[in-house]
Amino acid sequence: MLNAIKNSFATDDVIVKREDLYKVNVTRERVFELLAFLGNSYEYKILNAITCTDWIEEEHFALTYILTHLDRKNTIMVQTMINRENPHINSLSNEFAQAEVFERDLHEMYGIDFVGNENLKELSLENWIHTPPLRREFDTLEFVNNHLTFREGREDNMDVKVEMKRIRAEKKALKEAQEKEAAAKLAEETKDGE
């Protein structure tokens, strides 16, 4: 099977990850062709998941379609890269019923438009108008500072790191003072003894 993929899809990017896990990298133009090929010729007919990884440095998303064989023994990951700017790719929801909700999830979290999926409404967020939250440029801390306020009665909310530093310094000073005192006492005692 792996050789057939290499020959038909002119790719050398076929990796055996584990005895029962393969990975293929293809261009986005040929990804659906490959998925259909795997389904029709080799019975990889169960779509387990669609995952997305944000490679912000390389300016693309890596979309991975994970398919399992009908005998449920082997799994193949088909990975393709799509541009981070205005990301879009065709939907798989006509071929696989479960793809609809997978794509809905990725649409919400990364802002990817799955062309042909008519049910891309919000899943777990509500009235979200900001950057899709799983994109790398979305900074959780900045968002919290800009959009949320602390509850009343927590005005003393201090930076934990600064506070811990202060407590450590205090403890250290106390310990040093005690040691100094003990040393002085000892010196006095030895003096008395003489």
Partner 1 sequence: MENKHITIFHGPQHPGITGNMSVELDLIGETIQKATTHVGYLHRGFEKLIERRTVIQAFTIVCRICVPEPDPNEANFAMAVEELTGLEVSERAQYIRVMVLELSRLAAQFLWMAGQSGSVGIYAVGQWAIADRDRILDLFEELTGARVYHMYIYPGGVRRDLPEGFLQRVSELIEYMKKRLLDYDDIFINNASFKNRAVGVGIVNKDEALRNGYVGQVLRGCGIKADVRKDAPYLVYDQLDFEVPTQEAGDVYARALVRRAEMSQTLHILEQVVAKMPSEGSLMNKLPPHRKFKLPKDDTWVKVESARGEFAYYMAGDGSENIRRMQVRGPSLVHGFTLLEKLLVGAELSDVALIMNSLGICPPEIER
Q: Which of 26, 35, 38, 52 binds partner 1 (CB under 8 A)?
A: 52
Residues 6+ apart with CB under 8 A from 41: 1, 4
133 is an interface residue for partner 1 by CB under 8 A: yes
Q: Which of residues 65-124 bind partner 1 (CB under 8 A)?
A: 66, 70-73, 75, 77, 96-98, 100-102, 105, 109, 122-124
Cβ proximity of 117 and 62 under 8 Å: no
- Is the CB of residue 117 less than 8 Å from the CB of residue 103? yes
Which residues have a Cβ under 8 Å from the Cβ of 99 and sit 6 or more positions away? 47, 50, 91, 92, 93, 117
Helix (H) or strand (E) holding 108: helix 99-110
Binding residue for partner 1, selected from 35, 54, 80, 117, defined by CB under 8 A: 54
CB of 6 to partner 1, least distance (A): 20
Q: How far apart are CA 92 and CA 50, in angstroms?
A: 10
20 binds partner 1 (CB under 8 A): yes
Q: What letter would DSSP give residue 126?
A: S
Looking only at residues 150 through 189 of this chain, which bind partner 1 when binding is defined by CB under 8 A? none
Q: How far is the CB of 30 from partner 1 (least distance, A)?
A: 20
Least distance from partner 1 to the Cβ atom of residue 101, Å: 4
Verify binding: residue 140, partner 1, rule CB under 8 A.
yes
Residue with tokens 């939907």: 91
Cα gap 41→39, rounded to integer Å: 6
Contact residues for partner 1 (CB under 8 A)?
A: 17-18, 20-21, 23, 45-49, 51-55, 62, 64, 66, 70-73, 75, 77, 96-98, 100-102, 105, 109, 122-126, 133-134, 136, 138, 140
